[in-house]
Amino acid sequence: MPSILDRLAKEIDKISGKEAELDKTGSDLDLKKTALKKSAVKSKAKATKTDENSSPMQELMEDDSIKFPNVGDVVEGRVIETTSNALYLDIEPFGTGIVLGREIKDGMGAGKLKIGNKVSATITDVENDDGFIELSIREASYEKAWEDLESKRDTQEKVATKVLSANKGGLLVEVNGISGFLPVSQLSSKNYPRVEDGDKNKIFNLLKKLVGQEIEVRILDVDRVTEKLIVSEKAAQKEKDREVISNLKEGDVVKGEVSGVVDFGAFIKFFPPGVSETSSEEKKLEGLVHISELAWQLIENPRDIVKVGSKVEAKIIGIDDNKISLSLRALEKDPWSQVEKKYKVGDVVKGTVHKINHFGAFVYLDKDIHGLAHVSEMAQLFPGKNIDELIKAGEKYDWKILSIEPKEHRMGLALADKSAKGAVPAGRQGSASGGKAKKKEEKEEKPEKAEKKTKEKKIKEETIKEKE
């Protein structure tokens, strides 16, 4: 390690070499040279007073003319050597610094930093046993990394990152050497795992396929205190999608493929108008068909209507920012447009109970037209009876049409058979009336039987008198 005298002499040579270029500042150079020479003499005098075990670092620290940094201070150095176990920095004018241990193994030093690179580091020991200034690149760069993440969050700058691993909730990534998390909900439509039954193990298997891939994300949340970093691939894709979506308009008809089916509807991926179907999958957009837009009839399970991989045509019915709403039923004829030609208010028709809930029963008159028998109507017809005591899902009954609202796709119904003590399924009224007729006949037969018995009694009494 160069001695303090050698370093001072070197500094004097540097100043001397520039004297010719600095004619106007010659007096300043003389003053600097004088100050450096005095410092060298002073250091040499101190060196003679120190014992033989004094190190050059100790001598430099005792020099009052130079302010030596303390533990925790951040200094800048130039990389002069890298090995698999250490990184050496020239920290002028204080000496050579060394970075050891885990930071090298983690790739913070060797491999990422080259000879000649300048880097900031935090002093952890002003002089170790080998006479080096011990440094930490991680500690200094760690704070800078968080500051950079906060800046990227505020500016919504896109960041390229590599997927390190996956779990059932999302992906683990790294930005600026700091671990972050990308939730499943923040994946782009391209990478979002569409699993019909929502099985977490199936989702996990799809997520694992993304490990090792490089993706583009935006930073959603940064908290250096809790070391939390949340990123979003979906947010990074928004700008790109928004540009393409701007060319779409409501009413456009697109051809696509069902990419996923969930309880509330189905997702469809499609090439925007003007893009060839032979283009890469990345150019596809994705829209949602809500369960109510899959078909005109009531739907309990979207999977009964569409399947993943099915080729479909859909109409764009809404565009909100980068969200596209689609409809399948909009391309089909509305059966309610002709409903008043088939059904009239006051008609009594047969209908099958589709579903019963707390406010009434949904009844299908045919495969497309349905009505609601409100629970209040049931209560008026059959006071004291619960709706599920009167009718059963899947059974067919006679219903009276109370109202028809074609535009709202609504129809009001009421059970037509009020004479029954309980609701009697259509087609069974005959058996019920037959039973009543039988009871009536039995009531009518009773007086005749009584009269017959009376006659028989009289005949018997007269016979007895005659014998007497």
Q: What is the pLDDT of residues 106-152, one digit of tens each?
A: 545 445 678 888 877 888 888 888 888 888 876 666 777 888 899 99
Please state the separation of Cα 24 from the chain's center in Å.
67
- Average pLDDT of every residue of the chain: 77
| pLDDT band at residue 83 under the 50/70/90 scheme | confident
pTM here? 0.52
Q: What is the pLDDT of residues 168-222, one digit of tens each?
A: 899 999 998 889 999 998 998 778 887 766 778 888 999 999 999 999 999 999 9
What mean pLDDT do residues 386-413 have? 89
Which ranges in 230-329 belong to alpha helices (H)? 233-245
Task: Report cis status (omega within 30 of 0) of the bond before 93.
Answer: yes
| pLDDT band at residue 263 under the 50/70/90 scheme | confident
- 467 Cβ contact partners less than 8 Å away, ≥ 6 residues apart: none
Quick one: which H or E segment has residue 248? Answer: none
pLDDT at 167: 92
Question: What does the alpha-carbon distance between residue 420 and residue 382 come to, in Å, rounded to a whole number?
Answer: 9
Least confident of 103-107, 240-244, 249-253: 103-107
pLDDT at 189: 78
Q: What token pair was written down for 311?
A: 């080729």
Per the CB < 8 A criterion, the answer to whether 334 and 322 are in contact is no
pLDDT at 401: 93
Q: Report the 3 state secondary structure along the chain.
A: CCCHHHHHHHHHHHHHHCHHHCHHHHHHHHHHHHHHHHHHHHHHHHHHHCCCCCCHHHHHHHCCCCCCCCCCCEEEEEEEEECCCEEEEEECCCEEEEEECHHHHCCCCECCECCCCEEEEEEEECCCCCCCEEEEHHHHHHHHHHHHHHHHHHHCCCEEEEEEEEECCEEEEEECCEEEEEEHHHCCCCCCCCCCCCCHHHHHHHHHCCCCCEEEEEEEEEECCCCEEEEEHHHHHHHHHHHHHCCCCCCCEEEEEEEEEECCEEEEEECCCCCCCCCCHHHCEEEEEEHHHCCCCCCCCHHHCCCCCCEEEEEEEEEECCEEEEECHHHCCCHHHHHHHHCCCCCEEEEEEEEEECCEEEEECCCCCEEEEEHHHHHHHCCCCCHHHHCCCCCEEEEEEEEEECCCCEEEEEECCCCCCCCCCCCCHHHHHHHHHHHHHHHHHHHHHHHHHHHHHHHHHHHHHHHC
Least confident of 155-164, 322-331, 438-447: 438-447
Please state the separation of Cα 109 from the chain's center in Å.
35
Best CA proximity match to 344, nearest among 362, 363, 367, 371: 371
| pLDDT band at residue 430 under the 50/70/90 scheme | very low
pLDDT at 2: 53
212 in helix, strand or coil?
coil
Question: What does the alpha-carbon distance between residue 292 and residue 430 come to, in Å, rounded to a whole number?
Answer: 39
